[in-house]
Amino acid sequence: MSRDTLLKKRWEAVVEKLSSKFADGDPLDLDSIVYLIGVQELGQLDKKFKKDEKVNLIHIAICRLLEPYGYYKFDFVDDDGWPHYTIIEELPTLKPGEQSVLMKEAIVTYFLEKELID
């Protein structure tokens, strides 16, 4: 199976798993999945988040997802339980389609690490 085909299959498994759990089966988009990963990484699952906190959750998720690629490094957790990352290397300029593929690949890797998909 080609790398692209495998990524597509695994991405669909992630979308299906999360959509059935959080969206009554309606397919979640990439941004929604990134947000959910941010909530998971924060670990405050029952909290209602303000708009600025939601932006921070997305940032946490992006940092965590791109950490294995060498762009970010986990730094510390603050007194409120929020993880902080240090930028190691600036992200290259990517076209929107390339950004999407990078994030999907990073999300699939995250779910494989967590053993939530095969």
CA distances from 14 to 76, 83, 105 (A): 28, 24, 11
Considering only residues 87 and 2, tell me which one the structure prediction assigns the higher pLDDT: 87
Average pLDDT of the chain to the nearest whole number: 94
Per-residue pLDDT of 33-71, as tens digits, reads 999 999 999 999 888 999 999 999 999 999 999 999 999
Q: By the 8 A CB rule, do 100 and 107 touch? A: no
In a domain, 37, yes or no: yes
In a domain, 118, yes or no: no
Count: domains in the chain = 1
pTM: predicted TM-score of the whole model, two decimal places: 0.92
User: Distance between CA atoms of 118 and 112, rounded to whole angstroms?
Assistant: 6
In a domain, 93, yes or no: yes
Q: Which secondary structure element, helix H or strand E, spans residue 14, and what is its range?
A: helix 3-22
CB within 8 Å of 49: residues ≥ 6 apart:
39, 57
Q: Confidence class of residue 3 from pLDDT cuts 50, 70 and 90?
A: confident
61: containing domain: 3-113
